[in-house]
Structure 1
Amino acid sequence: MQLDYHDTANVRTITVHEDRVDAAVAITFKDKMRDLCEDGPDRVILDLSQVMFIDSSGLGAVVASMKQASGKALELAGLSPTVLKVFRLTRMDSVFVIHESAAAALGGGLANAS
């Protein structure tokens, strides 16, 4: 599971460099997200643009990451149509702010992906 991050003034963008977030990597994902969110800015954008598949374990790991971020805003960006469908079917699209892309999120636009 490869994640990296880039900080700008008050935002940490974390990019997932995997095509799947599923049961095989969910625990590692959650642990790495906890470490990356711990000492960063109060706004975190999780760039999922390279993720083409997410299952219930992966979704649970993303939700757990939001809870672990304690007080920080965790926003999502770059969801593929398949990943966005999972968030919609589970109504998690009403829990997270979802941006079309990381660039759009950094530009300040809060337009949820449709």
Structure 2
Amino acid sequence: MAAATKIETGRTVATLINVFTVLPERQAELVTVLSRATEETMKDRPGFISANIHASADGERVVNYAQWESEEHFRTMLGDPAAQEHMAQAAALAEGFDPRLFAVESVHHI
């Protein structure tokens, strides 16, 4: 069974949240580039768990919520030339972006 996104406290995964600012007319293209990058490159890298691409209703943001087994796996991916190519394509479509690693501190369910 394939790994899936699990958002829960106490896990040692590295959670990447990258918020892209984008012109509304480029939002769909950025979503396509990020989805293609995930399918063609990221999902085959060691330590990859999942990626979720979100598009804001106003068309001005795209959020990539990705999980890696560890920060080391994430940092290794950053040095991969194929991954760098995809990241450059995404960056070229965005007005700005803000990638950061997070730890889940609190989860609430109904």
TM-score normalized by the length of structure 1: 0.28
Q: Which structure is higher in RCO with an 8 Å CA cutoff and minimum separation 6?
A: 2
TM-score normalized by the length of structure 2: 0.29
